[in-house]
Amino acid sequence: MYTEDSSEIDSGILSSIFSSRAVAQILDFFLDHREFDYSYTEIAKKTGLSFKTVFREIPHLERNQLIYNSRKIGKTNMYKVNTDFEATLALEKFVLELSQLHASREETPASKIKLTK
């Protein structure tokens, strides 16, 4: 899709939120661990991403209100998934439904899947 200035490409809302695979990994982590808040270091350790990557990507999720800075401990910012934001809840539901679909496909033997043209 092109904007009025044809030199700029409007890549859409999903592209702006999921600017990288790392953003998706971080968001997936937060959706799975919604009860607590986490520092950059904890997020990096639990996702397997580098600290630098987490530091670079957290602002994307914060800007889109999917996570928020819940508190500060000393100089350390703590982040938590924003369960008050309706879009986060919808995204969580979407992820759950995709997970169930993926699981049901893995349970169905390939010999029982009927391909249609």
Give the C-alpha separation, 65 to 13, whole Å.
Answer: 13
Mean pLDDT over the full length of the chain: 83
Give the C-alpha separation, 58 to 64, whole Å.
Answer: 10
Q: What is the pLDDT of residue 96?
A: 83
The dihedrals phi and psi of 20, each to the nearest 5 degrees, come to: -160, 165
Position 9 pLDDT exceeds 80: no
Q: What is the pLDDT of residue 95?
A: 84
Q: What is the pLDDT of residue 4?
A: 47
Q: What is the pLDDT of residues 72-107, one digit of tens each?
A: 999 999 999 999 999 888 888 888 888 888 788 777
Residue 72, helix vs strand vs coil: strand
pTM, rounded to two decimals: 0.71
Q: What is the pLDDT of residues 37-83, one digit of tens each?
A: 999 999 999 999 999 999 999 998 999 899 999 999 999 999 999 99
Give the C-alpha separation, 56 to 40, whole Å.
Answer: 10
Q: What is the pLDDT of residue 15?
A: 67
Q: What is the pLDDT of residue 3?
A: 44
CATH 3.40.50.720 fits 13-110, yes or no: no
